[in-house]
Structure formats: structure tokens, C-alpha cells
Amino acid sequence: MGLFSGNYLMYMIPAFLLSLLTQWWVSSTYARWSKVGNNLKLTGAEAAERLLRYGGLNDVKVESMPGRLTDNYDPRTRTLRLSAPVSQSPSIASLAVTAHEIGHAMQDRQGYLPLRLRSALVPAASIGSSLAWILILVGILLNSLQLAWLGVFAFAIGALFALATLPVELNASSRARVLLRDTGLIQTEAEAVGVGSVLNAAAFTYVAALAAAILQLLYFSGMVGGLGGRRR
């Protein structure tokens, strides 16, 4: 028996369609609001300086990096990296993305528990995602149910990582809204709507990732469980 069967498509086609829908939503929302300037005409880099100063995060470095939507906060070096379009553009989308990443910097400073949990899971999730397929395949070839279940466990770690990521991202978006409002960087209802649209679309990517991880885990759990039933 191979790793995949017709049932695999039944599990993963919904996840694939959800992922496509999410990518379209994020891309279209970002494209729309990246064309709308914010009232203060602040670029992402300029907004970052104000937000970091307001949050007392003076030790966080700000760097520009290539790519589109590659923005991230690195807690290891306390570095906020903004993609060139965000860093250089005075758009509403730039404010939303910048504030979201600074939300992660605030989580890091405060020792936000879900962020610490996600960080602790990174090594295991990275290794597990690479080994899971191999362990299950080798377990099937060697008729080793224990090895196959170890592969399923590796998939479970990936699903746990996706689950731990969701509250981290939602909380960062919540912090972003408060930051932009309290600092006066968004001044109108239209700007608030734009920021909310960008943040909501981005957050849904993590919902889609969690759904895909759970469906994949369910498929392989059922497959390996079926192997055990046939052996008895």
C-alpha cells in the first residue's frame, strides 16, 4: 500500500481550495489597500519608528528586505524586517503590516505565552515536517506499525504548531489595531476599515494552514490505523 489513495483527495481538496481562496483574498486585499495612501503619508519605515518609540521598543532594529509580504519580526535578534513595498510606501496596507509585526515585538518583550510555545515547537515542527512522510513510508515498507505511527506523531507536531500559531497571529493583529488607534496613525473610519481588511485577510491564512494540517493528520491517522486493523 502506498502513502496516497483516493481518500487522500477527499481530505486535501477542501484544504487546497481553501488555500487558493485565502491566497486570492490576501493578494487582492493587500493590492487594494496598498494603493490607498494614509492621511499622515507615513511609509512603513516611518510608522515603525513612531510605533516602536511609543511602545518603548527602542532596542528593536528595523531593516528593509526584498520581496513582497515577506515582513517578519525575528525575536532572536530583535529585528523588524519590512519588505521594500511596505517599508517605502505611505499606504494603509503598509501601516497594517508594520503594526502587526510590531505586535509580535510587543509579545516578545512581554513573554507572551503562546509565542513562547510556538517558538519552542519550531525545531520539532521543522524536523517533523521533513521526516513524517519518510517515517510512514518506511514503516509501511518494513511492515512496522510503530514506525508508521511515529510518522503520524510528526504530523501531529506540525498540526500543534499550526494551532499554536493562530492565537499568536490574532493577538498581534489585535495589538496592531490598538497601536494604530492610540498613536493616531489612523485618523478616519475609512483607514480603520482598510487596516482591518488587511489584518483579517492575513489572519485567515493561518486558519487555512491549521485546517490543512488537521486534515492531513486525520488522513494519515486513519490510514495507519487501518493498517493496524488489517494486521489483527
Catalytic residues, by residue number, are: 101
How far apart (Å, rounded) are the C-alpha atoms in residues 231 and 193?
A: 57
Q: Are 112 and 60 in contact (CB under 8 A)?
A: no
78: left (phi over 0), alpha (psi -120 to 50) or beta: left
3-state helix, strand, coil in the chain (%, to 5): 75, 5, 20
Query: Counting Cβ atoms within 10 Å, is residue 168 exposed (0-12), middle (13-18) or buried (19+)?
Result: buried
Q: What is the DSSP string of 28-91?
A: HHHHHHTTSB-TT---HHHHHHHHHHHTT-TT-EEEEESSSS--EEETTTTEEEEEHHHHH--B
Q: Are 165 and 219 in contact (CB under 8 A)?
A: no
How far apart (Å, rounded) are the C-alpha atoms in residues 124 and 140?
A: 23
Backbone angles phi, psi at 62, to 5 degrees: -120, 125
How far apart (Å, rounded) are the C-alpha atoms in residues 164 and 174?
A: 16
